[in-house]
A and B are shown apart, each in its own frame.
Chain A
Amino acid sequence: MATTEIRITGFGGQGIILCGYIIGKAASIYSNQHATLTQSFGPEARGSACSAQVVISDTRVLYPYVTAPKVMLALSHDGYVTHKDTMAGDCILVYEKDLVRLEDHGITARTFGIPATRIAEDLGRKIVLNIVMLGFFGAVTGLIPRDALRQAVETSVPVGTEELNLNAFDKGYEYGLKLAGKAESKV
């Protein structure tokens, strides 16, 4: 039973929940895995630090919560600081290079940074930074097939924005391919 816990963290408005939703959907609907998404609710989902958690498994997920993520996506420094101590040993940390300043985690982590906001801005819409991150995550972790993630992006973003989002996804993915297997650092 291979199970992977993933946490996505950032601030409200960055599309954290959508990012988690797409990961879970890609795994469970488009690549024959089981995936359970949980998220932070309440005021924190509407502005300050928020997070989404996905458990991916090849059998049914029985315990729904993430306790020690093997993969963490950090889209904001606050989110990173809040959750860094929950990371499992040998965690993959995927982070927004311009927004997160890495600190000592006290555990071994493989880190991959991407200037997702800048890439999104170059595409004309800063709002797609979460999808850039998602593509990047897909490439550096290899947890979910690229096609499955693309399909999940296409069927989850607002109608009329599919092309923009798929483009953002691909930009992130390609940025990641260059780094795959080449973690910047082990902290």
Chain B
Amino acid sequence: MSVNAKQPVEEGHPMEELLRMDRSPHIWCPPCGLGTTVTALATALKQLQIDLNNVAVVSGIGCTGRVAGYMKVDSFHTTHGRAIPFALGLHIARPDMKVIVFSGDGDLISIGGNHFIHTARRNVDITVICVNNFIYAMTGGQVAPTTPITAKTSTSPYGNYEHPFNLPLLAASSGAVYVARWTALHVRRMTTAIKEAISKKGFSFVEVIAPCSTLYARLNKLGSGLDLMKFYHDNSVIKHGVDLREVDINYQSKVIVGKFIDIEKPTYLDCLNEGNKRVFGDKYKPYGGGNGDN
């Protein structure tokens, strides 16, 4: 039985502290935006200088869902759409840890959409990074709730005719306290946004528009991964704090990016503790936390 076969490990990779080198090479296509986004998360964690023992990454299913498997922190690869409620449980059990959900648009917003809005509503102190490539990539390029109108996918072969979600508007109106959107091209700004999101108390959301050259670009004849990056370069418009009703993404339209929301609001656990203190006074016994020692 060679299930436990060790992969050869390269030495001296700059991210080796943060990535599972024994799982290299990864499964993603060469021009995919995920590599850049994972690097942004790793860089953000490094720059924040937080204790990596206290970070957990939770993913759902899909190409982006595989991120949990490559991050060298306590990491959980859950079922399709369910990363957020799993993360919520983990966060409540270990409020001292930074819990980061890293998943895709189909996973978080379609099958997991209900969890997304409710966890934002509660302002649970987790960070959600959503890589939006406008398509279900792992399953072969089907239409997503983020697919722009007229874009072709394997299940909208004549062009999508459904209105897509505007993710920043959805997150903000559901209750997120931090909302930003960048593309995979904006590596530095994306890294800053992830740093801010992780540092933010409450439900923080970063949308990353990322190229899927294998499916989205191919089915829509948009060229290579590099062509998509050029498109982001030419068509991204930075508008911090813009009215979120204006950040819809249409087919091959301008992509409005920026930091949209950054507000203060008591978190789920703040409200739970304050509410109970108000009622029970000194009799209230706040949750002591799972410590893994007992």
A and B touch in the complex (CB under 8 A): no
